[in-house]
Structure 1
Amino acid sequence: MAGCEKGPRASFDRTISVTHSPGSTVSGEPRASVPARADLELAFKAVRKARVPQMPDLIFALRQELARDEPDLKHAGDLVAQDPVLTGQVLKTINSPFFYCPTRISSVHRALSMLGLERVANLVTAEAVSRVLDASQGASRLVRDAIMEQARGAATVAGVVRGVAADEAYLFAMMQDVGSLIFAELVENYGSEWLLRAPTAPRALMAYERGLLGIDHATVGFLLAGTWRLPDHLAIAIYRHHVADLLGIEDPRSRALIAVSWLGSYLAGLCHGSEDAPEMQDDCEAALDELAIAEDDWTRLRALAGRQT
């Protein structure tokens, strides 16, 4: 697993310095809201053992451009265009029904001018993660398929939620369970445990992971979000996406992303007949309260999911 241009250990050390230097916070959250240093060390060791392809340098170059006071959109577009396969995937996603784009976008430079660098960077990152997921085999493939289903569901829900961009919801929903993909590479029979617990009792899955490995997939996801230089509020959402009390998260952007993901998972549950699980029901109610989705919109989303069964 490659972290950045200076290698995985340098990327890990950067994540540690950002989250655990004296007085630091991530997205305004207290220190207790991020993984302990020892947990991040265990997560790093797990990531190093897994056979996960490298993220392209393009991702870090785009994030670096995005961090500038005045990002150069032409330069960003030229960077993306250097990877024609990734460019094609991004444009296909932008023009898909999940993103409600009013006009067809035929070039990444056009996408940048219409959507802005942050949204395009999210989509490029998501498609790069998708490329990583596509390399999955065996039990990991089962996890991969579920992750992609969740991502599409989250993007669909975001389409009716004010203040949550479909591209960010899509990226978040992909990233939140990437740690599970890594565990599937490392632990025999993990895929079976994941299928048994993840859809309906994800907090039980987290407890199983911690009992087996000392860490959970949310911690691994937080680590990867930091090494891949994703926004702080997205990293917090990844780490806390199975929290029992949504209101305990201070950043409203993190809460909204988690809530959108919960509803996406609920819609996937409708497709598979697992929506009656108590934990899924509780998360659905909390998410609807958080996002204040109109009843008509929620009815339409449920009907759409029901037609996919």
Structure 2
Amino acid sequence: MDSMASRPTPLIRSSSVIRANRIIMSEMPLDHSTPSASYRYPPKPDLELAFQAVRKARIPQIPDVVFALRDELGRPEPDIRVAAELISRDVSLTGQVMKAVNSPLFRCRTKITNMHQAVAMMGIARLTNLVTAQAIQRMLGVTEGPAQVVWDGMMVRARAILTVAEVVGGVALDEAYLFGIMQNAGSLIFVEMAPDYGTEWVLRNETDPLGLMEYERKRLGVDHVTVGFLLAGNWRLPEHIALAIYHHHDSDFGFSADSAVGVLVALSKLAHSLVVMRHGNHEQLELPADQERALRDLAIDDEDWAALCDRAQAGEWATQL
């Protein structure tokens, strides 16, 4: 896996600078396929600060195949053959995707042996999410220093979200996992910008996430959810995922069972509870009201929640995609 140190390529290219500026000017993400009038977007000054922070970061570029797939997905009649050929050009990414598609999570009755079968089974939209998640994991994954602590924590949270999503009907696992990886991507950028950030993240991420965001705003001028929102727009993730990244720490966010944003935020709330529980910090759980609301809106009953808690305490998260 490539590390941030081994490939010091600027995160945003010239074309992406234009894209990010458009986000800042409009205060809206690029994909408007999801109704979003009821959701709050980052204020323009915050997006400008996030943009400056991202420009200073030096991490690998997201593969062009992700943008090519988003382009194909945006066509009036997306072609599954074109999508399969695009993915197949990246041998390493193809291997990761095939492994994920054949994992127990997707419960394939027969083994998928090529990318054309994978696209036919999952559809272009779902496979694009899966490819994006795998690309981000390969791109951002780090194996040393304080950043590794943050990255490992991000992956635990992603697997916790996937674990909850498994018991919720109608939630696409590929989308849940993509959101799970991305929701704290801003923190990974901050750890490279501030020498003391890793320590603050360890102390506050689980038990005081709102306090961590306050520290971020004082120390760096912007918080990780705003940076994550900007990255999601820049990488052309679906609009509701970008909004869920921005709102996933909100204590007053109104969940809605029929809202794609609300479902992802609810998954995040419950995953947070499970991670805290796993580390034995039950009494420090900050937002029990959010947990109860999320359980209700995701229609998770007491028996299923008890089973999830048992899995969390045993460290039995869902298989990593």
**CA distance, structure 1, for counterparts of residue 299 and residue 48 of structure 2:** 38
- 1:50 and 2:48 equivalent? no
**CA distance, structure 1, for counterparts of residue 289 and residue 110 of structure 2:** 38
**CA distance, structure 2, for counterparts of residue 171 and residue 208 of structure 1:** 26
Go from structure 1 to structure 2 and tell me whether the alpha carbon gap of 1:35 and 1:136 turns closer, same or farther (over 3 Å shift): farther
Which deviates more from structure 2 when the two are superposed, residues 292-301 or residues 222-231?
Answer: 292-301
**CA distance, structure 1, for counterparts of residue 294 and residue 48 of structure 2:** 32
Post-superposition Cα deviations, 1:177-236, rounded to whole Å, max 9, x if no partner, equal 000000000011101100111112111111111111221000000001111111111111
What residue is the counterpart of 1:169 in the other structure? Answer: 176
Which deviates more from structure 2 when the two are superposed, residues 97-106 or residues 36-45?
Answer: 97-106
Corresponding residue pairs, total: 305
Give the unaligned 5+ runs of structure 2.
1-9, 317-321
What residue is the counterpart of 2:120 in the other structure? Answer: 113
What residue is the counterpart of 1:91 in the other structure? Answer: 98
Give the TM-score taking structure 2 as reference length.
Answer: 0.88
Give the TM-score taking structure 1 as reference length.
Answer: 0.91
**CA distance, structure 1, for counterparts of residue 282 and residue 313 of structure 2:** 11
What residue is the counterpart of 1:271 in the other structure? Answer: 278
**CA distance, structure 1, for counterparts of residue 233 and residue 35 of structure 2:** 12
Post-superposition Cα deviations, 1:10-49, rounded to whole Å, max 9, x if no partner, equal 121232355359xx99742357x11111111111111111
What residue is the counterpart of 2:145 in the other structure? Answer: 138
What residue is the counterpart of 2:5 in the other structure? Answer: none
What residue is the counterpart of 2:195 in the other structure? Answer: 188
- 1:219 and 2:226 equivalent? yes
What residue is the counterpart of 1:259 in the other structure? Answer: 266
**CA distance, structure 2, for counterparts of residue 19 and residue 163 of structure 1:** 30
Residue type of the alignment partner of 2:178: L
CA-based RMSD of the aligned residues comes to 2.3
**CA distance, structure 1, for counterparts of residue 273 and residue 244 of structure 2:** 18
Residue type of the alignment partner of 1:29: A
Which deviates more from structure 2 when the two are superposed, residues 182-191 or residues 149-158?
Answer: 149-158
The question of whether the paired residues in 2 share the 8 Å contact of 1:27 and 1:232 is answered with no
Report the secondary structure of 2:286's partner residue: helix
Report runs of 4+ in structure 1 exceeding 6 Å deviation.
248-251
Which residue among 301, 305, 308 is the counterpart of 2:308? 301
**CA distance, structure 2, for counterparts of residue 267 and residue 101 of structure 1:** 28
Shift in Å, 1:97: 3.6
**CA distance, structure 1, for counterparts of residue 106 and residue 282 of structure 2:** 25
Which residue among 62, 66, 77 is the counterpart of 1:59? 66
What residue is the counterpart of 2:20 in the other structure? Answer: 12
Which residue among 64, 71, 76 is the counterpart of 1:69? 76
The question of whether the paired residues in 2 share the 8 Å contact of 1:29 and 1:250 is answered with no
The question of whether the paired residues in 2 share the 8 Å contact of 1:99 and 1:167 is answered with no
Shift in Å, 1:122: 0.5
The question of whether the paired residues in 2 share the 8 Å contact of 1:156 and 1:166 is answered with no
Structure (1/2) with the larger helix percentage = 1
The question of whether the paired residues in 1 share the 8 Å contact of 2:27 and 2:43 is answered with no
Report the secondary structure of 1:160's partner residue: coil
Go from structure 1 to structure 2 and tell me whether the alpha carbon gap of 1:36 and 1:243 turns closer, same or farther (over 3 Å shift): same
Q: Percent identity?
A: 47
Shift in Å, 1:302: 1.8
**CA distance, structure 1, for counterparts of residue 153 and residue 207 of structure 2:** 13
**CA distance, structure 2, for counterparts of residue 18 and residue 208 of structure 1:** 27
The question of whether the paired residues in 2 share the 8 Å contact of 1:201 and 1:280 is answered with no
Shift in Å, 1:276: 3.1
